[in-house]
Every structure is written in C-alpha cells, then in structure tokens.
C-alpha cells in the first residue's frame, strides 16, 4: 500500500512539473494585489522589519507597479486585497492561534489606521475594488469570488506579501479550488527569507499554479489590442 502511494504521488509530481507553459488570456484576466499595506511593507510599518528591506532590495513594489500600470492601460481589472481588524478585533476569537494572537497583541493592521492602508505606490484608483478580510485567504469571508465571476474572469494574476506566510499561498490554493487559472508573479511576491519564498514556489505553488514574473506577464498584457 505504501509503495502504491509513493508511486502515485511521484507520478502526480512528475505530471505537475511537466505542465504546460503560460497560456494567458488578457480578455479574461484580473490582477490581485495582496497585502501591500503600510504595516507590512512600508519601512515605518509596525511589522515591516520582516519585509521592508527585502522588498526594496528585490524591487517587488516596482515590479508590481509595472504590472499594475500595464493592466490599467489595457483595461484589465485590478482588485486590491487587504487584511484589517476592526477596533477591538471582534474578528479574533477568545482563544486564537499564534498568528492572530500576535496581531492583536501588536495592535497591527487596524482598520481606519495608516498601517492598514495600501501603500501609496499601489494605491487603488477609480473604481478598483478593495476587498478587506481578516484571514490568510483572500477568498475566505469576502466577495472576491463574486467580483471575479461577475467579470467572467478565468486567469488570476497574483502579487502579494507574503508568499508562504501566508496570503499568497492560501489565496492561490483557494483560487485553484475555485477552478481559476492562477498565475503567481514570483518577482511581485516576497517573504521573510529567500529560502522560504523559493521553497514554497518550487515545492507547492508550482504544482497548483503557473509561475511567471512581471516581465513575462507585462509583455503578454501589452500584446492585448
């Protein structure tokens, strides 16, 4: 039985690694920008010490802005997803797990504060929807799926902080379960270390999503009439 499971898993991994290259349909695409918020990304943010310098060194904001500008120019929908807790954190249970316990103790990402706002470089314009949630998954407890379905979206480009812990991973898993075509833009994402970022892309996300980058996807977007 164990040998059968091993063979089955190995075959599944081999199949996933031989998956087709990017087949991007800009007519049915949308860009999701996840958790590019001041507390997380800005050097003055309350928990940005984990990410701010790494994001600056990797050019993640610049890369994401390039994709964002291309989408706006070509009329491709953009949806911003942010994490926020109401004053008093009523979304957090009496006995939360480590992550939510840490958030409430640190008083981070509180709705109505500068820390919970999206950074200026990527700030929403016009009628771009902003989805607010209190979870690790952009789909959980939100109308994100409704927004995507209402526009007939199939191809979901994903940029966000953080890759593994947790929103990019959780949202990509959910996008796959919702039968979207997830495209993770690896140079528009980051995490607390290269090892963590690269490991989750290579060993998890590459099996459930197409892995692309800002240069490739921007070129595809610019080919749109």
pLDDT tens for residues 33-83?
Answer: 999 999 999 999 999 987 899 999 999 999 999 999 999 999 999 999 999
Asked if residue 200 is part of any domain, the answer here is yes
- pLDDT tens, residue by residue, 185-209: 999 999 999 999 999 999 999 999 9
* Distance separating alpha carbons of residues 144 and 137, to the nearest angstrom: 10
How many structural domains comprise the chain? 1
* Distance separating alpha carbons of residues 169 and 209, to the nearest angstrom: 10
Least confident segment among 43-57, 147-161, 176-190: 43-57
Q: What would the two tokens of residue 153 be? A: 């979206």
| Whether the predicted pLDDT of 2 surpasses 50 | no
* Distance separating alpha carbons of residues 189 and 183, to the nearest angstrom: 12
Asked if residue 1 is part of any domain, the answer here is no
Asked if residue 18 is part of any domain, the answer here is no
Asked if residue 16 is part of any domain, the answer here is no
Asked if residue 13 is part of any domain, the answer here is no
CATH number at residue 197: 3.40.50.850
Asked if residue 8 is part of any domain, the answer here is no
Which range of residues forms the domain containing residue 176? 26-222
Nearest to 80 by CA among 52, 119, 50, 54: 119
Asked if residue 32 is part of any domain, the answer here is yes
What mean pLDDT is predicted for residues 155-176?
A: 97
Buried b (16+ CB within 10 A) or exposed e, 3-23: eeeeeeeeeeeeeeeeeeeee
120, 59 in Cβ contact below 8 A? no
- Residue 127 has phi, psi (to 5 degrees) of -100, 25
**At 160, is the secondary structure helix, strand, or coil?**
strand
């Amino acid at each position: 039985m164990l040998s059968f499971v091993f063979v089955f898993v190995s075959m599944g991994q081999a199949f996933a690694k031989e998956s087709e290259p990017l087949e991007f349909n800009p007519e049915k695409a949308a860009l999701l920008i996840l958790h590019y918020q001041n507390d997380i990304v800005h050097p003055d943010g309350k928990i940005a010490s984990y990410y701010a310098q790494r994001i600056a060194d990797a050019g993640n904001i610049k890369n994401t802005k390039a994709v964002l500008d291309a989408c706006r120019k070509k009329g491709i929908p953009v949806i911003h997803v942010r994490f926020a807790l109401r004053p008093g954190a009523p979304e957090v249970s009496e006995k939360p797990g480590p992550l939510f316990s840490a958030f409430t103790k640190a008083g981070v990402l509180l709705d109505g504060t500068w820390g919970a706002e999206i950074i200026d470089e990527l700030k929403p314009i016009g009628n771009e929807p902003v989805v607010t949630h209190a979870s690790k998954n952009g789909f959980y407890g939100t109308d994100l799926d409704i927004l995507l379905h209402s526009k007939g979206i199939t191809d979901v480009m994903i940029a966000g902080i953080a890759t593994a812990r947790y929103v990019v991973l959780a949202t990509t898993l959910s996008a796959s379960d919702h039968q979207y075509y997830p495209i993770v833009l690896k140079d528009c994402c980051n995490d607390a270390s290269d090892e963590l970022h690269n490991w989750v892309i290579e060993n998890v996300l590459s099996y459930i999503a197409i892995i692309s980058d800002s240069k490739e996807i921007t070129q595809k977007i610019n080919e749109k009439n």
